[in-house]
């Protein structure tokens, strides 16, 4: 099936892996990110029609332009993947206004802009699929130095659920999915705000083994084929989240005892 799929944050990491996986499956792609060199490299690798849009998704006008370019080149959009994101390494009590503003802009507002830009098109067509890439850390605080990133992803989780419920009432063929990776072997940690290098696996404090971006991309591709409300990409994530919410106090006490 040749679907038209928009991917933000597509120049590296999970976004680039999604593009390669979907290209392998024969989809046509609109790849968006700030770095044109990275986008062009990914576009060359995907093996299917790919249109590159250099954009800063923290700017609403840029997100609208991604949509407009997708419609101009391909005529319609089937799936929109809000994948752009950035982490932080800063304890919550040390956060600055700038830290919080950037985490919200990159991890929440960019996805909100994407949903607001493309959903009217999906409603008009009577079908479509929004996929928001969040994080397991938006559910369980096993990496507290991520602080404002975790909080931003929790906000994204809530917005996604609200949009999904609203659309299901009136437009049941417009799907809204939340995908929550755990630890993934990319340069995400190295590029986090305030980072001095990759975060040691021990700092995550969970039994999860890192996944490759290709493993996460394959799961996201399957969500496109079989829409689901929420998906944890790591097999250990769902059980760990259930344990956390079942008894938060005990979970946190056990985590402190291990540290």
CB 49: neighbour CB atoms within 10 A? 16
pLDDT bin (cut points 50, 70, 90) of residue 206 is low
Residue 207, pLDDT > 70, answer no
- The pLDDT score that the predictor gives to residue 202 is 47
Kindly list the catalytic residues.
149
Q: Find all residues with CB under 8 Å of 188, minimum gap 6, and list them.
A: 13, 85, 87
Structural domains of the chain, count: 1
Question: Could you give the CA distance from residue 66 to residue 50 in angstroms, rounded to a whole number?
Answer: 13
Q: What is the mean pLDDT of residues 108-132?
A: 98
Neighbour-count burial of 186, counting CB atoms closer than 10 A to its CB (0-12 exposed, 13-18 middle, 19+ buried) = buried
Instruction: Copy the structure tokens of residue 238.
Output: 């769902």
Name residue, tokens 């991917």.
7
Task: Identify the residue with better confidence: 201 or 160.
Answer: 160
pTM of the predicted model as reported, rounded to 2 decimal places? 0.93
* CATH number, position 115: 3.40.50.720
Q: Which residue has the higher pLDDT, 205 or 142?
A: 142
- Provide the domain limits for residue 177: 4-258
pLDDT digits (tens, 9 = 90+) for 164-176: 999 999 999 999 9
């Amino acid at each position: 099936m040749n679907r038209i799929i928009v991917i933000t944050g597509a120049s590296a990491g999970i976004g680039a892996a999604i593009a390669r996986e979907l290209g392998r499956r024969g989809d046509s792609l609109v790849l968006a990110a700030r770095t044109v060199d990275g986008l062009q490299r990914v576009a060359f690798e995907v093996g299917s029609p790919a249109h590159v849009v250099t954009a800063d998704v923290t700017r609403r006008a840029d997100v609208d332009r991604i949509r407009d370019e997708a419609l101009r080149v391909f005529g319609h959009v089937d799936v929109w993947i809000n994948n752009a994101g950035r982490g932080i390494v800063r304890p919550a009590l040390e956060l600055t206004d700038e830290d919080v503003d950037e985490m919200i802009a990159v991890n929440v507002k960019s996805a909100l802009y994407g949903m607001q830009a493309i959903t009217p098109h999906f409603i008009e067509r009577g079908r479509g699929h929004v996929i928001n890439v969040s994080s397991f850390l938006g559910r369980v605080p096993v990496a507290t130095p991520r602080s404002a990133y975790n909080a931003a992803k929790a906000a994204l989780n809530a917005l996604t659920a609200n949009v999904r419920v609203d659309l299901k009432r009136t437009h049941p063929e417009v799907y809204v999915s939340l995908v929550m990776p755990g630890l993934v072997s990319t340069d995400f940690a190295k590029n986090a705000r305030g980072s001095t290098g990759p975060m040691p696996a021990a700092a995550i404090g969970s039994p999860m083994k890192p996944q490759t971006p290709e493993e996460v991309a394959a799961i996201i591709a399957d969500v496109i084929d079989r829409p689901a409300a929420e998906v944890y990409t790591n097999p250990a994530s769902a059980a760990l989240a259930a344990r956390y919410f079942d008894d938060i106090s005990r979970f946190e006490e056990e985590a402190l005892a291990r540290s």
